[in-house]
Amino acid sequence: MCFKILPFYAIAVFMAGPVLSQDMKFGKYSDEEIRLESVPFEPDADAVVLEEYCSNIFIRASLNSQIHRRIKILKESGKDHGNVVLSYYRGKDGVESIQKLKAQIVNFENGEEKIVKLSKNDFYEVEMDNGWREIRFTFPEVRTGSILEYQYVKNDNSIIFLDGWVFQNKVPTLKSAYYIDIPSYLDYKVVSQGIKTFQAKYRTSERGVYKWVLADLPSIRSEPFMNHFVDYLEKVEFQLAGYAFRSAGGSGYEQDGYTNVFKTWQDLADLMMKRPAFESYLNPNKSLVSQIKLEDTENLSKLELAQKIYTHVVEKFKYEGNGGMIPLQNLKTILETRRGNRAEINLSLLAHLKAHDIEAYPLLISSKGNGRSQLVMFPFADQFNQMILVVNTGESLHFVDGGNEVFPMGYLPLGFHVKEGFVMMGKDSGLMDVTHHHRSGINQSVNIHFDKEGIQSTETTIRFLDYDAIGIKRPLNEEIQEQLETKIVKEETESKLVFEIENRNEGREILDVKIMSSKAFENKQTVFLHPFQYLRWNENPFSADSRSFPVDFDYTFNDRFSAKLHLPKGYELDDFPEDIAFSLPGGQMAFSYKVFTMEDIVHVNANILVKESIVPAEIYPSLKNFMEIVTSKLREPVIIQKLSPLATASESK
């Protein structure tokens, strides 16, 4: 969190608000909690959060959060939930702290409570990287039916961005509540995410007092085609919008004025770009400009020049693996060390581009896994975590990341495939659409024929395009080729794979794989021919009955299949899959399959089109059915059968 360490010094004194009352009392359990053995909406859960809350008040210049959580173990496999880790950001200035921690476990034997309370010696504090710390503890005697309970107070001295609250946990949650009392002289923007959080009626009759109470929340668990489920969690966050103040020496509680914080996107851009380290990349001196000028650029178009500069920076500057959107070192240092974090590498690329009169700007994004599926529409700085560039070559815009040498210019890591970003300019800064121009997919062409010697030969060309090609060919070593051959050639045949890599001038990434295979034709009465050897999905990847999170295919693509089956002499087409064409209800995916004959050739054509990479969880049942039809249809054989003796005699005449 880049702004976490910024001190908030403008407000001199805060008064504590009233403590919000809670129904949940430490050590007091209801009959329903004691009797509970399973969760109705998630019966396979091995543990459950019975109830939790976070109650917040401001005390002077810090936020005081009282947190209380109660968990019940439902199965033997849930005993690991007795290991608890509490993380907080201390930093160099003691930004956050955790105090007044207490915990206990209760087991019920013959109707009696057996309570074990943890002592201070049971809590272990561990220093982590980058100013973070953890408090770890383990509950003793954890078994099925145990109720674990702990509470603590967390103080946060950085109140521009409040940590807020995530209502979901690794296990299902029956009730999760968040309370906050905001003083009248503070204004916060409320940022909600998730259907239940967004629909909650959180305003109370008291000014500045907000209350979210959510119930029956599913667990946070991984699902197929969703590596970034944290982007879709039910949660609420806050950013300071403004504050009232008193002049020095003022008396009473009357306000002397009001200050806006990040009133516009330009305010936020100016705050970041005016940092000395940042400004060194935007306005380098003549000495630095002379160091970043490339030779032999006179006859290049702007696109060719941008590609040359991109290749130079990617090859000469080493990305150290640290993400982020803030440069910690200036341009002079980066040119000397040639190493930096993502912001520094991309800003170095920006400096190179600008030195050659190519328009480029920093672009902040919230990458997948950063906890935000959609950007909020006001200057909420804490929603961003990575910096890339938007480059204008005259004919089109290119979204570029110089911190990843695997991807050519104009292609982004899959985690950076987002809809919007925050472009920072001298003026007119704001949100802009992030459009990825690519035509990814897998095109497969198959030709099956039979010779007079009774040999069945199959010629297959598989063309991987754009992101499908990049995912395979970098680097295309012998091991990857062997893996690909095993995946493509499933039958025992005499086969040969020839890899041909082609990069066209228009910037498309292409990998062609050609397969020549042959085997003895089995001269049976009925023969089953499978037209397609390579499938993106051999089986339906969606087997669960329900789903909590959307499906993320990472990128859009169009897979095309075409097969020609030359009928061997003495055979006729007997049966084949029925034609079909249909789409998902929302139009995110479409599929078609068609079989027809021309003379003695059976043609099989199929097409899978993914128009939108994100498919909402609400239409998961339709998606599951869609994928079942697609995977089954592409595996179905074409059946040929020997002609009857009468038909054969007639044909020979």
pLDDT at 410: 87
Q: Residue 521: give the domain boundaries.
A: 441-645
- Tell me, yes or no, whether 226 and 126 share the same domain: yes
Lowest mean pLDDT among 275-289, 369-383, 387-401: 369-383
Q: Are 183 and 14 in contact (CB under 8 A)?
A: yes
- Tell me, yes or no, whether 50 and 111 share the same domain: yes
CATH assignment of the domain containing 91: 2.60.40.3140
Q: Are 376 and 383 in contact (CB under 8 A)?
A: yes
pLDDT at 3: 40
Q: What is the pLDDT of residues 20-50, one digit of tens each?
A: 556 789 999 999 999 999 999 999 999 999 9
Confidence of residue 507 (pLDDT cuts 50, 70, 90): low
Residue 38 included in any domain: yes
Domain end (from 217, 245, 273): 245
Confidence of residue 367 (pLDDT cuts 50, 70, 90): very high
In the block, residue with structure tokens 């939930």: 81
Q: Beta strand pairing status for 441-450 and 557-566?
A: parallel
CATH assignment of the domain containing 491: 2.60.120.1130
Residue 472 in 3-state DSSP?
helix
Top-confidence range, 133-147, 238-252, 569-583, 639-653: 133-147
Residue 144 included in any domain: yes
Lowest mean pLDDT among 78-82, 470-474, 585-589: 470-474
pLDDT at 248: 57
Q: What is the pLDDT of residues 343-362, one digit of tens each?
A: 999 999 999 999 999 999 99
pLDDT at 222 over 70: yes
Q: Can you list the pairs that 342-346 forms with residues at least 24 positions away whose Cβ atoms lie under 8 Å?
A: 342/386, 342/387, 342/388, 342/401, 342/403, 343/387, 345/313, 345/317, 345/319, 345/402, 345/403, 346/387, 346/388, 346/389, 346/400, 346/401, 346/402, 346/403
Q: How far apart are CA 610 and CA 445, in angstroms?
A: 20
Chain mean pLDDT for the chain: 87
Q: What is the mean pLDDT of residues 220-245?
A: 87
Residue 7 included in any domain: no
- Tell me, yes or no, whether 543 and 564 share the same domain: yes
Residue 15 included in any domain: no
The amino acid that residue 388 corresponds to is I
Q: What is the mean pLDDT of residues 1-19?
A: 40
Q: What is the pLDDT of residues 63-121, one digit of tens each?
A: 999 999 999 999 999 999 999 999 999 988 889 999 999 999 999 988 789 999 999 99
- Tell me, yes or no, whether 76 and 105 share the same domain: yes
- Tell me, yes or no, whether 406 and 550 share the same domain: no
State what percent of residues in the chain have pLDDT above 90.
56
pLDDT at 8 over 50: no
Confidence of residue 16 (pLDDT cuts 50, 70, 90): very low
- Tell me, yes or no, whether 403 and 445 share the same domain: no
Domain end (from 409, 433, 457): 433
Q: How far apart are CA 424 and CA 266, in angstroms?
A: 8
pTM: 0.82
Q: What is the pLDDT of residues 515-568, one digit of tens each?
A: 888 888 877 888 888 888 789 998 999 998 888 889 999 999 999 999 999 988
pLDDT at 15 over 50: no
Q: What is the pLDDT of residues 427-443, one digit of tens each?
A: 999 999 998 889 999 99
Lowest mean pLDDT among 6-10, 261-265, 430-434: 6-10
- Tell me, yes or no, whether 299 and 223 share the same domain: no
Residue 210 in 3-state DSSP?
strand
pLDDT at 492: 60
Q: What is the mean pLDDT of residues 210-226?
A: 92
CA atoms within 13 A on the CB side of 393: 19
Write out the E strands in 267-344: 318-319, 339-340
pLDDT at 14 over 70: no
Q: What is the pLDDT of residues 173-191, one digit of tens each?
A: 999 999 999 998 888 888 8
The three state secondary structure string of 404-430 is CCCCCCCCCCHHHCCCEEEECCCCCCE
Total number of domains constituting the chain? 3
pLDDT at 83: 96
- Tell me, yes or no, whether 428 and 521 share the same domain: no
pLDDT at 161: 82
Q: Beta strand pairing status for 47-59 and 173-181?
A: parallel
